[in-house]
Amino acid sequence: MASIPILHSHNGWGVQLYGHKDPRYLTGAEAVQAVQAGFHPVSYQAVLWFTEFFVPIVPLGVYRVVDAQDATFGQRRKMTPVPWDWRQIAWHYLGGVCGLACIPLAIVAIGLLGWGLASIAPPMTQ
């Protein structure tokens, strides 16, 4: 498995891995080598994204990932490119769009709730 540099984002802008699809246990010599090198003997499929405000914008590739046992926030990984999984990419886009749509809807709902409560409250007298 080829190593890649540490993924980096600042305030949600940058390159991040999304997803944890199709976990597989490593077997035989591959599992032994992974454990001896300090990695978990389990791999999973994830999509590498360029993100803005944590929202996936551009898919950069699909990888089979093995995380290190001592990694803080998954900073040490082994990644191997795999064929693009367009279904997984579509789900990430859908989640990002729905997440963005929920923010203005929540603001409108809170505003309407506040306006509705203000309109039914009895007038204040002194």
Backbone angles phi, psi at 123, to 5 degrees: -65, 145
pLDDT tens across 48-64, in order?
988 888 888 889 999 99
pLDDT, the chain, mean: 79
* 21-to-42, 85, 92 alpha-carbon distances in Å: 12, 10, 12
Three-state DSSP class for 71?
Answer: coil
Rounded Cα gap, residues 76 and 7, in angstroms: 9
- Can you give the residue ranges of every domain in the chain? 9-120
How do residues 82-95 score in pLDDT, each as one tens digit? 999 888 888 887 87
What confidence score (pLDDT) does residue 125 get? 67
Give the separation between CA 119 and CA 10, rounded to whole angstroms: 43
Residue holding tokens 């498995």?
Answer: 1
